[in-house]
């Protein structure tokens, strides 16, 4: 930290993060999702945004980018493809990971991180949003 100002900026950011986690706030900003604890992230219920234009095709999610007018494609691994089946069905991320675990040889923590990362990516792409449970 180079200055008192830097200290207070960092302090304010951490205080806001802690406050959101304590309250279970539904206003956590998308850019802050990677910072939240796995316990807090596990409570998030992913839902698809109304009007989002996407489809699953050949193991990838294809998205229409309204800014460029072009389709974009992002490859999904098997865990992510399975997670997509559960998104939008009123299940939190932790529960989704547990459901996927029943049919997988992967460790639950690896599955959960994959599900959480997918949700963050889809939120950044404006395909998903969330509800806190």
Q: For 6-40, write each residue's pLDDT tens digit.
A: 655 665 555 555 555 544 444 455 666 667 888 98
- Alpha carbon dihedral 133, 16, 127, 76, in 10-degree steps, equals -90
The domains of the chain are located at 4-50+77-132
pLDDT tens-digit map of 49-90: 998 889 999 999 999 887 888 889 999 999 999 999 999 999
Torsion, CA 23, CA 28, CA 34, CA 35, rounded to 10: -50
Q: What is the pLDDT of residue 84?
A: 96
Lowest mean pLDDT of 29-33, 93-97, 101-105, name the range.
29-33
Q: Per mean pLDDT, which range of 50-54, 66-70, 96-100, 117-121 is the poorest? A: 66-70
Determine the pLDDT at residue 16: 56
pLDDT, residue 118, reads 95
Q: What is the pLDDT of residue 36?
A: 80
- Segment 93-114 shows an average pLDDT of 94
Low-confidence winner among 61-65, 91-95, 113-117 (lowest mean pLDDT): 61-65
Average pLDDT over residues 91-112: 94
Determine the average pLDDT of the residues in 94-109.
93
Q: Global pTM? A: 0.74
**Beta bridge partners of residue 92, listed in sequence order:** none
């Amino acid at each position: 930290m180079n200055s008192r100002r830097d200290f207070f900026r960092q302090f304010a950011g951490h205080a806001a993060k802690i406050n959101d986690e304590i309250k279970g706030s539904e206003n956590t900003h998308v850019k802050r999702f990677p910072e939240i604890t796995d316990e807090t992230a596990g409570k998030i219920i992913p839902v698809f945004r109304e009007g989002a234009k996407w489809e699953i095709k050949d193991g990838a999610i294809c998205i229409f980018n309204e800014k460029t007018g072009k389709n974009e494609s992002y490859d999904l691994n098997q865990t992510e493809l399975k997670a997509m089946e559960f998104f939008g069905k009123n299940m939190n991320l932790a529960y989704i990971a547990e459901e996927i675990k029943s049919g997988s040889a992967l460790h639950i923590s690896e599955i959960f991180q994959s599900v959480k990362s997918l949700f963050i990516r889809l939120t950044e792409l404006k395909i998903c949003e969330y509800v806190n449970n």
